[in-house]
Amino acid sequence: MSGQPSELHLFVLWQKARRVEARILEDLGQQKDIEILGKWELAFSGPAAEAYPAFYGGKKPMDGPLKVRKCGGGPFLLIVVRNLNPTYGSRWARDEKYYIANELMYDLKVRYQEWAGRKHRVHGTTDAAEFARDIFILSGHTAEEWARGIPDDIRLNIPACAGWRLVMDDVGPGLGLADCRVLLENKYINDVFFEGRFHGRPAVVKCSSTCAWSINNEFRLASRLHAVAPSVVAEPLAVWTSDDGRRAFVVTEKVSGPSLTELLEQGVTAAQADGFAADILALAEALKETGILHRDVYTDNFLLGADGHLKVIDFQMSIDRNDYREDPWVAAHPKFLYVVFGVNHNTPCGCWDDRAALDAVLALLPATDAVARARRKLAAMPDIAFTARPPLGARLTLGAYAISLMIQSHVPWRSRKRRNQARKRLDTIRARGGTDVDGRDPEAVSAGKDAT
């Protein structure tokens, strides 16, 4: 392979590993394939016993107080490194299975854990996805931002779970909320989800300090859609915003059933498919009538209600086609919208075309007559009902990004993996819009279309 591939990784020395900090840094300095990008001392803002589970959240439940006893709750050290010539091989994982890991990172982590006296005192990332997740939580910056350079405002981004719990205790009862416990933590733009009861009804509370505006947006637009199509939209119940406008949560009825992703994995029957097709069509009609563009239509965002109807959730990124407004954080991170949504959903459309996204969902169902009819009906609905053109500024940003991806997809000094990643993203943008939402945009970035 030509050029010199590299990968970013990190180590965390929790407080009780810091007595061997100097030795670890010296050893890292001597590794010919490791370049230390920097080290930062960080401290938890709230109780460490709450912060640890938030950091490891989503992987497996953790006993916070035990972790504090083993690893310490005081200031800890983040070390970010570049691994040149990374190689992958199978390594032993906790659960008696082998997994494919970055070999050098894995081996160094094991060595430093031994030096620290206890395994859990040193954390290290062993693949790119783990780095991407951890670096965002530890530094408040994404892996892509790090790939461009070392950010100068590194701040711990562990969701203020403890803080949100205080908010729940403080304002929850006044709103009618009770028995809130954590459901999910560390989602990309939301801090934490609680499940609890709202005036006795099972409810989910979604809390954000990154995109507070979008939380209110979700409540506003979901309420409008729910009024028109109550059986296929999870009911929004309440919304709260802090006085400074930086934090907000929205309360929604808890939909009891599995997601459509899970249903498809289990196997959807023909009878179920017919019902789901009718639900999706009803949703399409409601979107058309209200002028709302959901923009995050994919199987994870449909949940099966106790009444047997599929209900759509997650209106954070939705827009009103007649009154286009964007969350300020999202507006400042257009890639999030165009690339993350487009690529991750893996549907033949960008986030600006609900009809294509709804059709992609229908296409995943068993192809019954009713499903085929629903697809024809959807196709016959007026074009304009389901798309919106992104504003010029956003299109230009995306165009510049597309050009940078084109360059990245060709230059030989990038690893093949990075080149392929860039190519895949580029294909997604080209095929699915963003710049070229409906294939008729005269200002579509021509370079992105012609140059390869």
Ligand X SMILES: Nc1ncnc2c1ncn2[C@@H]1O[C@H](COP(=O)(O)OP(=O)(O)O)[C@@H](O)[C@H]1O
- Whether 289 contacts 228, CB under 8 Å: yes
C-beta nearest to ligand X: residue: 314
CA–CA gap between residue 72 and residue 82 (Å, rounded) = 27
- Show the CA angle centred on residue 299, arms to residues 375 and 228, nearest 5°: 65
In three-state secondary structure terms, 429 is helix
* Contact stretch for ligand X (CB under 6 A) within 1-9, 21-29, 247-255, 391-399: 247-255
Cβ proximity to ligand X, 151 vs 176, nearer residue: 176
CB of 139 to Mg ion, least distance (A): 24
- Whether 10 contacts 135, CB under 8 Å: yes
Cβ proximity to Mg ion, 315 vs 352, nearer residue: 315
CB of 357 to ligand X, least distance (A): 14
Query: Strand runs (DSSP E) across 352-448, as ranges?
Result: none
Contact flag: residue 362 with ligand X (CB under 6 A): no
CB of 285 to Mg ion, least distance (A): 22
CB of 186 to Mg ion, least distance (A): 14
68 binds, among ligand X, Mg ion, none (CB under 5 to 8 A by kind): none
Which is nearest to 250 in space by CA: 213, 279, 288, 300?
A: 213
CA–CA gap between residue 233 and residue 129 (Å, rounded) = 33
Residues 6+ apart with CB under 8 A from 419: 408, 409, 410, 411
* Contact stretch for ligand X (CB under 6 A) within 90-98, 128-136, 300-308, 352-360: 300-308
Task: Pick from 303, 330, 337, 364 the residue near ligand X by CB under 6 A.
Answer: 303
Cβ proximity to ligand X, 23 vs 201, nearer residue: 201
CA–CA gap between residue 248 and residue 164 (Å, rounded) = 10
Which is nearest to 439 in space by CA: 389, 403, 393?
A: 389
Cβ proximity to ligand X, 108 vs 357, nearer residue: 357
CB of 437 to Mg ion, least distance (A): 22
Query: What is the token pair recorded at 28?
Result: 């890292």
Cβ proximity to Mg ion, 214 vs 301, nearer residue: 301
Contact flag: residue 314 with ligand X (CB under 6 A): yes
10 binds, among Mg ion, ligand X, none (CB under 5 to 8 A by kind): none
142 binds, among ligand X, Mg ion, none (CB under 5 to 8 A by kind): none
* Contact stretch for ligand X (CB under 6 A) within 52-60, 76-84, 184-192, 392-400: 184-192
β-pairing, 98-102 vs 122-124, is unpaired
- Whether 42 contacts 78, CB under 8 Å: yes
Judged by CB under 6 A, the chain residues 200 through 239 that form the site for ligand X are: 204, 206, 234
- Whether 20 contacts 112, CB under 8 Å: yes
Burial of 291 (0-12, 13-18, 19+ CB in 10 A): middle
Cβ proximity to ligand X, 208 vs 387, nearer residue: 208
Query: What is the token pair recorded at 148?
Result: 């461009």
Contact flag: residue 333 with ligand X (CB under 6 A): no
Instruction: Compute the residue count for the chain.
Output: 452
Judged by CB under 5 A, the chain residues 271 through 330 that form the site for Mg ion are: 301, 314
Q: Which residues bind ligand X (CB under 6 A)?
A: 184, 187, 190, 193, 204, 206, 234, 252-255, 300-301, 303, 313-314, 316
Binding site for Mg ion (CB under 5 A): 301, 314
